[in-house]
Amino acid sequence: MEQTEQRINTLRRELERHNYLYYVQSQPVISDYDYDMMFKELEQLEKQYPMYADPNSPTQRVGSDVNVEFRQVKHQYPMLSLDNTYNESELADFDARVSKELAAAHRYVCELKYDGLSVSLTYRNGELLRAVTRGDGIQGDDVTANVRTVRSIPLKLHGGGWPEEFEIRGEIVMPRQVFEKLNIERIEAGEAPFANPRNAASGTLKMQNSAQVAKRSLDCFLYFLLGENLPATSHYENLQKAREWGFKIPFYASLCNSVEEITQFIAEWDAGRRSLPFDIDGIVVKVDDLSQQRQLGVRAKSPRWAVAYKFPAERVETRLDSISYQVGRTGVVTPVANLEPVRLAGTTVKRATLHNADQMQLLDIREGDTVFVEKGGEIIPKVIGVNPDKRPADSVPTQFITHCPECGSALLRNEGEAAWCCPNDRCPPQVKGRIEHFISRKAMNIDSLGEGKLEVLYDKGLVRDVADLYGLRREQLVGLEKILTGEDGNRRKIAFGQRTAENMLAGIKASVQVPFERVLYAVGIRFVGETIARKLARSFKSIDALAEATCEQLTAVDEIGERIAGSVADFFSREDNLALLQRLKQAGLRFTVDEDARGRKSDALQGKTVVVSGVFSIPRDDIKKMIEEHGGKNTGSISSNTDFVLAGEKMGPEKLKKAESLHIPIISEEEFYKLIES
């Protein structure tokens, strides 16, 4: 047993070292395969020997699918906000106040102001003890379980020399590349995209399911050390020491001795911030010496020894030439401002979103207005205001359209929603949008249909829905051609030759092998993204069973709420959707789960609906996998349809209460193993 414990500890140390090299230093020294093999070995040993469990083990970074309520924790040191400055004159005033108060030589540390969610990490004896959000500055949410999934945050420190207990603060951020990918997935699922990476990072860290947080690839920059017995009396030197312990301390910080050096640092990063893979919204200026920080003290809500210089959002004025309206695949009508071209944040902007009718009314926006345009989150152009002094005398208020600009149907607005929608499923943009979604990479992956070919097929009347794709013939395609004009005004010719037609038909034919969960995602049920489609497919196992499911049965599935359940039920209540699915079945698409692919081991739990609650000797994901392998179905909530609850330690009290009230059997982990072995 001693050798086993030594091996577990060795693997943990090695995996943490490689995490640090990969996520902090960006200098991996082993392949992903070798890392995965080490990880799997540790995972297996921890399952086999649960007495060596450790909440700070690298295996815990994947998170848990147990939903938890955040408890409030009081900060040992208040998390104050910073006063903001916006120009060189205000910086000079700050320096003058500091100089007058100290009456001694001093220097500053300039750091980037990361646009994310503030977090405070407490370490005891070199291990992560607790992570708390800023909250109101006095107390915040305990998000330790979620923070453990952020791979750039060390769970155990490197080297030595750290205080017995200390606090380090920083910013949880979402890299732009991750943000853009997440928004694409949300749009494909019919959900509203996040406005910017900061909102996405904040929303992610507040999710109650840490397994979902782990999938979002958050990052963390640390910038402030607090506690007794710190290594140095210099803020800057303490950060350098913290870097040696394994923290991701940015290299962007700089020591400055004057306002002139500070403004030079600001100018450099105002010009260079768009080259960063994450968002910043300014520069933080701090007095470096800790004893001088204490001498300067704090106000009620902000320190006197630090200030934030905020970059002004890049904003331009331009003329609003016209307002047009776009129809998405779900029927939502979005107003778009067509602008006189203008340079903004390094690109030429011709169009900007107006969001919805309420926002247009709030701005009182009119064609011919001179408008202010910014890039939301430095990415999406948006109109944020109107210059009334330049409004033409003959302008008239804008009335949001009442009928679809594409098909003429009267628009509808659902109660509680801001968007107006076209109710006509046969509206051309909706039809083309659904087909584009169907053939996309994460759905049916028919990439041979890209580059404008779908537009040609629709315009020629060959494809009016996704099932039409499976009836196309080579003789219909060869010789087709069309000139398409892009949004940039450029024209290009799309032509179908012999090879183009054959490649396209081969791609369509190959798509019938796509598994059921991706087919379910591809048919485009509103609010059903990749993850939800996978859960529905695995829970109901066939499209027929899903079509017959009640809302109660749907909401019993993990992560399925009333909104999704209502959307699924509505989809299957419509005759045109059922007819489309029937044609796709006849084309050979897969509408049942391949049991062999799922690794079915027995029918011990055939037809049983199981709720898993509590902590087990092995990860909950493995428990759920075993239930499926033996024919059972996992659900997230207890109902009259639940056959039994599999309870580990610390079973949720609400689930226990509901199970007892419904007289649902509760079995232990040991009883579960006996059941499936039988």
Give the integer Cα–Cα distance in Å for 25 and 246: 9
Task: Give the pLDDT of residue 23.
Answer: 58
Give CA angle at 110 (278, 146), nearest 5°: 40
pLDDT digits 0-9 by tens, 597-620: 445 677 788 778 898 888 787 777
pLDDT tier at 572, thresholds 50, 70, 90: very high
| Residue ranges of domains in the chain, CATH in brackets | 2-62 (1.10.287.610), 72-310 (3.30.470.30), 315-421 (2.40.50.140), 428-513 (1.10.150.20), 516-586 (1.10.150.20), 609-677 (3.40.50.10190)
What is the distance, to the nearest Å, from the Cα of residue 615 to the centroid of all Cα atoms in its chain? 27
Cα 247 from chain centre: 24
Helix H or strand E encompassing 491: strand 491-495
For the four alpha carbons of 391, 396, 397 and 399, in that order, the dihedral sign comes to negative
Query: H or E stretch including 259?
Result: helix 259-272
Label the pairing between strands 254-256 and 117-124: unpaired
Q: State residue 339's pLDDT score.
A: 94
| Token pair listed for 193 | 């995209």
Phi, psi angles (nearest 5°) of residue 433: -65, -40
Taking residues 236-250, what's their average pLDDT?
95
- Lowest-confidence region among 44-53, 330-339, 359-368: 44-53
C-alpha 77/C-alpha 74 separation (Å) is 9
Question: Which of 255-259, 384-388, 615-619, 629-633 comes out lowest in average pLDDT?
Answer: 615-619
Q: In this structure, are residues 145 and 208 in contact, taking their beta carbons and an 8 Å threshold?
A: no
- What is the rounded distance in angstroms from the CA atom of residue 259 to the CA atom of residue 244? 30
Q: What is the pLDDT of residue 67?
A: 45
Residue positions annotated with a catalytic role: 113
Amino acid sitting at position 366: R
Q: Cα–Cα distances in Å, from 121 out to 73, 142, 173, 227, 326? A: 12, 10, 15, 12, 46
What pLDDT score does 489 carry?
55
The pLDDT score that the predictor gives to residue 377 is: 47
Q: Output the six-digit token pair for 605.
A: 């739990």
DSSP label at residue 105: -
Rounded Cα distance between 129 and 632, Å, is 37
- The letter for the amino acid at 570 is D
**How far apart (Å, rounded) are the C-alpha atoms in residues 483 and 493?**
4
Place of tokens 């208040």: 78
Quick: pLDDT tens for 460-470.
999 999 999 99
HSE value, Cβ hemisphere, 13 Å, CA-based, for 5:
6
Pairing state between β 609-613 and 644-647: parallel
Mean pLDDT value of segment 329-358: 86
Kindly give the pairing relationship between strand 165-173 and strand 139-141. unpaired
Residues 164-186: tens digit of each pLDDT:
999 999 999 999 888 888 888 77
| 446-455, 525-534, 562-571: least confident range | 446-455
Write the DSSP string, 618-637. Answer: S-HHHHHHHHHHTT-EEESS
- Dist CA 189 CA 197 (whole Å): 19
Residue 158: pLDDT over 50: yes
Q: What is the pLDDT of residue 87?
A: 86
Sheet holding 306-310, edge to edge: 84-85, 306-310, 280-287, 108-114, 254-256
Reported as a single tens digit per residue, the pLDDT across 97-156 is: 999 999 889 999 999 999 889 999 999 999 999 999 988 788 888 999 899 999 899 999
Q: Is the pLDDT of residue 39 over 70?
A: yes
Which pLDDT value is given to residue 63?
52
* Measured distance CA(484)–CA(465) in Å, rounded: 21
pLDDT of residue 68: 52
Residues contacting residue 10 through CB under 8 Å, at least 6 positions apart: none
For 118-158, give the secondary structure using H, E and C.
EEEEEEECCEEEEEEECCCCCEEEECHHHHCCCCCCCCECC
| Mean pLDDT value of segment 643-668 | 84
- Are the C-beta atoms of residues 38 and 11 closer than 8 Å to each other? yes
Strand partners, 113: 282
Length of the chain: 678
Name all contacts of 428-432 with Cβ < 8 Å and 24+ positions apart: 428/458, 429/326, 429/327, 429/328, 429/329, 430/327, 430/328, 430/329, 430/330, 430/331, 431/458, 431/464, 431/465, 432/329, 432/458
Tell me what the mean pLDDT of segment 270-296 comes to. 91
Q: What is the pLDDT of residue 60?
A: 75
Arithmetic mean of pLDDT, 264-290: 91
CB atoms closer than 10 angstroms to residue 655: 21
Has residue 486 got a pLDDT over 80? no
Would you say residue 435 has pLDDT above 90?
A: yes
Residue type, 189: A
Q: What share of the chain is helix, strand, coil (3-state, %, to 5)?
A: 40, 20, 40
Cα-based distances in Å from 4 to 10, 49, 52: 10, 9, 9
Q: What is the pLDDT of residue 597?
A: 46
| Range 212-217, long-range pairs (CB < 8 A, 24+ positions) | 212/63, 212/65, 213/63, 213/146, 213/149, 214/61, 214/62, 214/63, 214/149, 216/174, 216/178, 216/182, 217/174, 217/175, 217/178
Q: What is the pTM of this model?
A: 0.52
Per the prediction, the chain carries an average pLDDT of 86
Helices (H), 348-484: 357-363, 428-439, 453-459, 474-477
Using CA atoms, how far apart are residues 369 and 381, in angstroms rounded to an integer? 17
Share of the chain above pLDDT 90, in %: 43
